[in-house]
Amino acid sequence: MKNVCAFLCLFTLSMSVFSQEKQQDSTKTEKLDEVLVKAVRVEATSPITHTNVTKKQLAKRNLGQDIPVLLNYLPSVVTTTDAGAGVGYTGIRVRGINAQSTNVTINGIPYNDAESLGTFWVNLGDFASSVESLQLQRGVGTSTNGSGAFGASFNVLTDAVAKDASGEISNSFGSFNTRKHTVKFSTGLLNEHFEIAGRLSNIASDGYIDRAETDLKSYFLQGSYVDDNTLIKAIAFGGKEVTYQAWNGIDAQTLIDDRTFNPSGIYTDANGNTQFYDNEVDNYNQDHYQLHWNQRYNNQWSTNVGLNYTYGRGYFEQYREDEAFEDYDLTPLEIGTETINTTDLIRRRWLDNDYFVVNTNANYKNDKINMIFGTSYSFYDGDHFGEIIWAEFASDSQIRDRYYEGNGKKSDLSFFTKATYRVSDKVSLYGDLQMRLVGYKTSGLTSDRIPFNVDENYSFFNPKAGITYKLNSQNSLYFSYARANREPNRDDFQNNATVKPEQLNDFELGWRHDAETFRLYVNGYYMLYNEQLVLTGQIDNVGNPIRTNSGDSYRLGLEIDAAVAVSKSFSVQPNLTVSSNKNKQTFNSVNGELENLGKTDISFSPELIAANAFVYQPKEGFQLSLLSKFVGEQFMGNTENPDSKLESYFVNDFNVTYEWKTNAVFESVVFTGLVNNIFNEKYVSNGYFGSFDFEDSESPTGITTGYFTGYYPQATTNFLLGVTLKF
């Protein structure tokens, strides 16, 4: 409670913000590069709740931590990381909704995994170093490509074409042996039309959690042709990650006794000693190839075509004790009079997939109307298979035998038309219609060797509409309604063959106040769900969250995002979200009897999320920031069981940047420092919760329900220091 009071006092003190950086961005003329994401972005005056993040803002804390962690201080955002220190597997939830319900596009190309619907930033290490800008839309947002947005959508624009030649060498080091090494270059415009640019990066960390090592190698390369009306970009980017598994979490007692303990890879050797397998890793490669052609024909018409091919392949490796032969299609061994039907083994579970995307958009605009017509088609073909690479007793297995094989194919075709019509100087109307056709088909076996055959087709119609009313030059009001539909993912089908698609009606009402030294955005939302796929709190055997349909549910909230320039050198930038997130009716089995719990909190949905930044800039190029984040208590399940509660936490970071302009070899040298969790808060930002039934003769029903919990502790005080040489 004292943390809540502290933050609310801080928020009241700082009631809001406007940074000079944002004002400068808003006066820029549209770059040709920005048209690549115009179909999935919204303008500042649109009746869609959104936040823009620039390259300059990302760079201030870009010392190796993943993109979700860099976005931690945006409104309604909660982030977490398996390894505890922001490197490796990281997650993000917006308005309490997890990454599986958040749409992500890169240059308008869908990035969410087609089958799991998740977003794995670990496959694109140091991608923040190649981001020109990013827009977070909260709620349904505008029509986008790929899977529907149920809590938020992120659309990312990669590096713009640079006019002048440049280069960067960036290195950072910090706690847990974390280090980042980045080299970037751009030729600038050659013959006023051509540019080649690229980046190579390596990020490594031992992690806060024991053995949670991460090794991320990545690249980004683009070739561009540009003139007054044409932009053609060929882009290749990707990465390879090797990450020691830390997705099992720890129980409550271990959290108290040894919060950095990692149970992954644990086994008992022949002498009865506890050991840890040294290669209990996730090993994955992902390469993306994009081609974009934007053409402007006149002041009214322009078109954009985007092509994409993504190739992903990799595995996770595990040491397993006393595995049954029948689970791996092995024949029992007869040695004398003894029958051997279990063995210790090392297995790899593989993914090998291809993903193709075609986007086409046309834009017409004049003084009254701005219209975009678009279509997107994607096709995914993914193989799932398992191999035993070593076994104490190999039975009749052969090298590279596959003990299970499966395949998933998914097609996604969408059409949309969106328009903004300026009725008068004060009133503008927004309309958006999308039709989405999804087909998903699987064959073969699951990793548990169970036949898995899905053949589903969905037709989704998603209308959206809104109005913006401009009161005066500084104030405007907006209202919007949006409908969204979303298909289940592969894991949903595996856990429940009768799973249903989810639907959402999203109502947003907001007020925007923009002045030279003061900004205040207030937004109220009501998100009404039917069959929302909520997190049950449980995870599967590879750390993926398990979801279930929840019938009718809703999220009702108020968001305040503010900024105030107290002086030319000092600003305060707070945001606050207060919400109520409820399943309208929840049933739960306890001790063999079904109980109706009535209205309950939706899992992983805190009622209070707040953040603030005190920013002091004594002179140009030198900035000090105190960043604060409060996340209220939340339940890891949907039954409000006290054992499933995650306690609230209040964490503070300190960030400093200084750019030294030189007249020597380098154009400038940038020094960056970041101290995370400066008050050494021992907190947990994520976990899991589940129940199990066991026979009990003393129970009236003969069954007693037990519960289990798991926690992902986050790092205590830690630091990162970096130096970037620009030339």
Q: What is the pLDDT of residue 17?
A: 33
Look at residue 11 and tell me whether its pLDDT is greater than 50.
no
- Residues 236 and 216: their CA atoms lie apart, in Å, by 17
Q: What is the pLDDT of residue 31?
A: 62
In 3D space, the residue among 37, 43, 54, 42 whose CA is nearest the CA of residue 292 turns out to be: 37
Q: What is the pLDDT of residue 12?
A: 41
From the CB of residue 227, how many other CB atoms can be counted at a distance below 10 Å? Answer: 11
Q: What is the pLDDT of residue 369?
A: 95
Look at residue 155 and tell me whether its pLDDT is greater than 80.
yes
Top pLDDT among 663 and 308 is at 308
Top pLDDT among 18 and 224 is at 224
pLDDT band at 614 (very low <50, low <70, confident <90, very high): very high
pLDDT band at 6 (very low <50, low <70, confident <90, very high): very low
pLDDT band at 673 (very low <50, low <70, confident <90, very high): very high
Q: What is the pLDDT of residue 683?
A: 97
What is the torsional sign of CA 510, 43, 125, 410?
positive
Q: What is the pLDDT of residue 304?
A: 94
The whole-chain average pLDDT of the chain stands at 91
Average pLDDT of the residues in 60-64: 94
- For the stretch 435-483, pLDDT in tens is 999 999 999 999 999 999 999 999 999 999 999 999 999 999 999 999 9
Q: What is the pLDDT of residue 27?
A: 32
- The mean-pLDDT minimum among 1-10, 307-316, 407-416 falls in 1-10
Look at residue 46 and tell me whether its pLDDT is greater than 80.
yes
How far, CA to CA in Å, does 274 sit from each of 104, 270, 277?
Answer: 42, 10, 10
- The percentage of residues in the chain with a pLDDT greater than 70, rounded to a whole number, is 95
The domains located in the chain, with CATH, are 2-726 (2.40.170.20)
Look at residue 487 and tell me whether its pLDDT is greater than 90.
yes
Look at residue 582 and tell me whether its pLDDT is greater than 60.
yes
Look at residue 60 and tell me whether its pLDDT is greater than 90.
yes
- For the stretch 265-315, pLDDT in tens is 999 998 999 999 999 999 999 999 999 999 999 999 999 999 999 999 999
- For the stretch 136-150, pLDDT in tens is 999 998 888 887 778
**In which region does residue 650 sit, left (phi positive, over 0), alpha (psi from -120 to 50) or beta (all else)?**
beta
How far, CA to CA in Å, does 698 sit from each of 590, 673, 708?
Answer: 15, 60, 21
In 3D space, the residue among 721, 644, 635 whose CA is nearest the CA of residue 676 turns out to be: 721
- Residues 124 and 237: their CA atoms lie apart, in Å, by 8
Q: Report helix, strand or coil for 704.
A: strand
Look at residue 14 and tell me whether its pLDDT is greater than 80.
no
Q: What is the pLDDT of residue 537?
A: 76
- For the stretch 69-83, pLDDT in tens is 999 999 999 999 999
Q: What is the pLDDT of residue 15?
A: 39
pLDDT band at 691 (very low <50, low <70, confident <90, very high): confident
- Residues 196 and 233: their CA atoms lie apart, in Å, by 10
Average pLDDT of the residues in 328-352: 93
Q: What is the pLDDT of residue 635?
A: 96
- Residues 87 and 242: their CA atoms lie apart, in Å, by 12
HSE, CB side, 13 Å, CA atoms: give it for residue 14.
29
Structure tokens at 226: 């540009």
Residue tagged 């009622």 (tokens): 607
In 3D space, the residue among 206, 200, 209 whose CA is nearest the CA of residue 177 turns out to be: 206
Q: What is the pLDDT of residue 68?
A: 94
pLDDT band at 250 (very low <50, low <70, confident <90, very high): very high
pLDDT band at 2 (very low <50, low <70, confident <90, very high): very low
Q: What is the pLDDT of residue 32?
A: 65
- The mean-pLDDT minimum among 196-205, 381-390, 685-694 falls in 685-694
- The mean-pLDDT minimum among 298-312, 527-541, 629-643, 664-678 falls in 527-541
Average pLDDT of the residues in 359-388: 96
pLDDT band at 676 (very low <50, low <70, confident <90, very high): very high
Are the CB atoms for 239 and 111 separated by under 8 Å?
no
- The mean-pLDDT minimum among 38-52, 511-525, 577-591, 686-700 falls in 686-700
- For the stretch 355-373, pLDDT in tens is 999 999 999 999 999 999 9
DSSP 162: P
Residue at 180: amino acid letter:
K
